[in-house]
Structure 1
Amino acid sequence: MLDALTLVTGVAALLLAAWCGWAAYRDQPTKDWHFIGMAVVFLLTLIQLVVGIVQLTRGEKPEQGTTIFVAYLLGAFACIPAAGIMSLSERSRWGSVTAAAGGVVLAVLEVRLFDIWGS
């Protein structure tokens, strides 16, 4: 796995979490700018998914097993869209809290992906 891509995705997820958390602190719902931020983070996870699959097809193997690696890779890919959809259904400060929580969860998944792949 590309270490730099995992790091950038994790940092972007934490920045998104802080941004949405700040909106929740100010009692604001998620706005269009937040969804643009979510789209950027989602694009990073899409690139990560493609890179991970390419590396697996080239014969590279994660240290802790392919099945768990693919499961975490798919979970990371689905995390931000799920949080975005849930924040759309709750158009209050709790939508921002949901988006912030999705960013934190994605950051944790990125750390775990790094650990599973092994460097």
Structure 2
Amino acid sequence: MIFHADGIQDGNITWLVPVAPLTGSITTFSDKCLDVPNGSTENGVKLQIWTCAEGNTNQMFQNHIGQIEWSGTGKCIDLTNGNSTSGNPVRWLFLSWLFLSSFPILRAAR
């Protein structure tokens, strides 16, 4: 789900994304990970936040040329209907160079 942070530093909206070309979980607060419900590869499936489980392929992602891809599937995170309004869910869409949403991925300070 999209949420506009307006500069607020909050663990609930901070995500750690694997650095390209590595594959790994996208994690947030309290040992929670971005997860593909039931491993569904259908376009439009809404993603969920789930308890992290080491080796769970439904939680393995990679930064693929500025897109966040579910590792090895050709599916990338997309905004439902391209809407960036707070509360809009994120979903799957087959990898397409023309229509995918781009999410800014920032490096953490060292």
State whether TM-score is above 0.5. no
For the pair shown, the structure with the greater C-alpha radius of gyration is 1
Q: TM-score range with shorter-chain normalisation?
A: under 0.3
| Structure with the largest fraction of strand | 2
| Structure with the largest fraction of helix | 1
Provide the TM-score with structure 2 as the length reference: 0.26
Q: Which has the higher contact order (CA 8 A, sep 6+)?
A: 1
